[in-house]
Amino acid sequence: MRATLMYRAGDVRVENVPDSRIENPTDALVRITASCICGSDLHPYHSMTADEGPARMGHELIGVVEEVGTEVATLKRGDLVVSPFAISDNACEYCRENLQTSCSHHEAGFWDGLQNEGGQAEAVRVPLADGTLVKLPVAPDSALIPSLLTLADVLGTGYHAAKAAGVLPGQDVTVIGDGAVGLMAVLSAKRLGAERIVLMGRHTDRTDLGREFGATDVVAERGEEGIARVRELTGGQGTYAVLEAVGHMPAYEQAVGVVRPGGVISRVGVPQYEEAPIGFASLFRHNIRLAGGPAPVRAYIEELLPDILDGTIEPGKVFDTTTDLDGVPAGYRDMDERKSLKVLIKP
């Protein structure tokens, strides 16, 4: 079968690999019908060394169950399913607390950590299939597929940013980053009733979509200038919640700059730093809280699915390009060059 491998920064190839197949009785084999490239895939695309590659890529997927292991109880051949970016048994202590990204099962983890599987491919072996996969009540060629595919990561990740920040009706929110996750954070803050949603981003096509999703203000300036602009918009205070959907240090610094005393910075962009300012001058003085992490998107699927099925939300609008597997390397390049917002793959 064919699959996407990253050999090192900037070097993405689609190659023949051994067919995925059932290995454990709790596995499912899924024929992938829709997948995509994630903003977080751009991090290794910038930084991966040759020693770290080649790595199988892709952690967002919809597909048709082709075969199930002997212990899989809830799925059968022919089911259309979506897989979150994290594998979990959905049964352990952490999963029951809706923290599936910290599932304690020994097979749990991230797709990105698996050696021989990935979503940007023709098929995939899904470990802990009963826990990981969620059945979708539509056909594989449904017009809703792009929106449903966002349940695998970006929608749930943006929603997690807003939930972890504790966004409540009437609150003011700043979203940092106009990538797909940032736009989903806007949509999520809106869904939770935020009144003013300031989107910090400088790509007009994206921020326009952000306005469609609920942003009330767009700030294109960055750094000190951007901070001053948000403060100006909010009576000098900053906003109670700041959803940081980038992961780079300047985005964190911007978050510290625009958060209101007593407020919260909720991070869902994978941090590309380890150390950062959290002392008296940055967080402590005004009781600023820090929240977030890898989103337990599995926890949010049941809640968000009905809104997609009935058309209340259309998160699939973040896909502005569709390609087949052959087009994946160009898809990375286009996303990196901001020519594409998010690339849908039909393998």
- Residues lying near a second copy in the complex (CB under 8 A) are found at 94, 97, 99, 101-102, 164, 261-262, 267, 270-271, 273-294, 296
- Supply the minimum distance, in Å, between the C-beta of residue 10 and a second copy: 22
Give the β-pairing of 321-323 and 343-345. parallel
Q: Which residues lie across from 15 on neighbouring strands? A: 3
Q: Which helix (H) or strand (E) holds 18?
A: none
Q: Pick the closer one to a second copy by CB: 158 or 331.
A: 158
Q: Pick the closer one to a second copy by CB: 131 or 146.
A: 131
- Supply the minimum distance, in Å, between the C-beta of residue 68 and a second copy: 29
Contact 309, 144 (CB under 8 A): yes
Residue type for 291, please?
A
- Supply the minimum distance, in Å, between the C-beta of residue 104 and a second copy: 9
In sequence order, the 6+-apart residues with CB closer than 8 A to the CB of 268 are 157, 158, 160, 161, 164, 181, 185, 243, 244, 245, 292, 293, 294, 295
- Supply the minimum distance, in Å, between the C-beta of residue 91 and a second copy: 16
Q: Pick the closer one to a second copy by CB: 283 or 330.
A: 283
Q: Pick the closer one to a second copy by CB: 114 or 278.
A: 278
Number of Cα atoms under 13 Å in the Cβ half of residue 167: 30
Can you tell me whether residue 286 is helix, strand or coil? Answer: helix
Q: What are phi and psi of 165, to 5 degrees?
A: -80, -10
Q: Pick the closer one to a second copy by CB: 14 or 103.
A: 103
Torsion of CA 95, 99, 102, 105, to 10 degrees: 10
- Supply the minimum distance, in Å, between the C-beta of residue 229 and a second copy: 21
